[in-house]
Amino acid sequence: MNGSGADDGGGRAADPEISGEAVTDDLSAKNTTLDDAAGEPIVESAVTEALAAAPAAADATLEGIDRAARPDRVSSILVAVGPGPHSGATVDVAREIAGATDAWLELFHVVPTDGALADGPASADGSDAGSDGDAPDPGDGDDYAATGERLLDAARDRLGGFDRADRWLVEDRSAAGAIVEQSPYYDLVVVGAPTTGTVGRFVFGSTTDTVIDDAEVPVVVVEADGEAALDLA
């Protein structure tokens, strides 16, 4: 479609006698047609319906709805997968939104880079994570990756028969940075509410606030009704 104004589709140059007013009117008509083609907004209603359909979730808050390029369409969803108490509910809500909108899910887990591990757990995501016994020892990147793969396996299993899903294990200094960087390629990001613990904070600690502030698309923040962590057994 690029350069469509240069010829009439048959390889002939456009008529130089066409006035600017006529071209402007034509473009306005096309834009009006495109605007009319947009349907009713569905993002907010899809989130509300997903919360009602996911018993493990106590709340699902939609942030940044004004960032939606097409509020009437959700075709792809980035799901931040982690080990926290809200992780299972996060996957449940994402699945219900995808089911209602015919969207594709990307199950996304971030493991710290060697540089982040060398800096220590406290600086892996900019928070004072401390040592809660829920993460591999600093410097053991293979263990983080193995844990991430198990979490992605558990998330995939939790989707049940839902098959419009991929998985992605990515290495980055910051979980928030990785999610924000990928956000423009999706219509929606779904994350768990903030939690505690070294691994939990790397994915869902201050990460959640940063993603809400900096993602280029709307963000759904899911809080579980009690404990709803992904099962790593």
Confidence of residue 141 (pLDDT cuts 50, 70, 90): low
Summarised one tens digit per residue, pLDDT across range 93-130 is: 999 999 999 999 999 999 988 877 776 543 333 222 22
List the domain boundaries for the chain: 43-224
The fourth-level CATH superfamily of domain 43-224 is: HUPs (3.40.50.620)
Query: What pLDDT, on a 0 to 100 scale, did the predictor assign at position 123?
Result: 30
- State residue 105 phi and psi, 5-degree precision: -105, 140
Given phi > 0 = left and psi -120 to 50 = alpha, else beta, which region is 226? left
- State residue 163 phi and psi, 5-degree precision: -115, 5
pTM: 0.74
Average pLDDT over residues 217-223: 97
Of 79-88, 167-176, 213-222, which one has max mean pLDDT? 213-222
CA distance 224 to 35: 38
Given phi > 0 = left and psi -120 to 50 = alpha, else beta, which region is 69? alpha
Summarised one tens digit per residue, pLDDT across range 175-201 is: 999 999 999 999 999 999 986 554 444
Total residue length of the chain = 233
